[in-house]
Amino acid sequence: MLTNLAFTVFEAVYGFLANSVSLLGDAGHNLSDVLGLLLAWGAAYLASRKANEIYSYGYRRSTILAAIINALVLVFASALIAFESLSKFMRPEPVQEIAIIVVASIGIVVNAGTALLFMKGSKEDLNLRGAFLHLAYDAVISAGVVIGGILILFTGALWIDPLVGIMIVGIILAGTWGLLRDSVNL
């Protein structure tokens, strides 16, 4: 988790320096994932506690609450990314393509590596599934940012950066909808 947090800060700094909404969007999504991981681990800890006089059923359902909060944080992050992307789409600005490509490539490695840690239990536990999905989507999103950076480098088309930001929003919302629906149903 510390690796993901450090990378998120690194990516946000380079997002500002590179003037890239796609990197900033990826950093915002990564930050929501770090917060989601904290919620997932906290909920897993609570779920392991035994029932007491006040909570006669224990804390097992706290994992469902954590999944709902994770989904809502992703929806909020998506709204911020969409707003910034639409703004830059209407007024494209130069970006530093090489920085985008390098930083997002590091993101693929960091996010895919962390996602693998959650893959084993993700089929049985909704909370672990949420954490796994967050990280897996981050790796895919970082790959999209790399491709966007390469396209900008070779074409000079500045509208690609905010388009990638909008695509990030679509990916996040598509993946989050099922988690939000399943956790609310529970």
The DSSP code for 58 is T
Distance, in Å, from the CA atom of 124 to the CA atom of 29, rounded to the nearest integer, reads 25
Residues 172, 26: contact at Cβ < 8 Å?
no
Distance, in Å, from the CA atom of 169 to the CA atom of 144, rounded to the nearest integer, reads 12
- Per-residue pLDDT tens digits for 25-74: 888 878 877 777 777 777 777 777 776 666 656 566 677 777 787 788 88
Distance, in Å, from the CA atom of 113 to the CA atom of 158, rounded to the nearest integer, reads 31
- Residue 78 clears pLDDT 80, i.e. is over it: yes
- Please give the model's pTM, rounded to 2 decimal places: 0.74
Helix (H) or strand (E) holding 11: helix 2-18
pLDDT of residue 161: 94
Can you spell out the DSSP letters for 115-136?
A: HHHHHGGGGT-HHHHHHHHHHH
Residue with tokens 């917060």: 35
pLDDT of residue 147: 96
Closest CA to 142 of 42, 15, 45, 1: 15
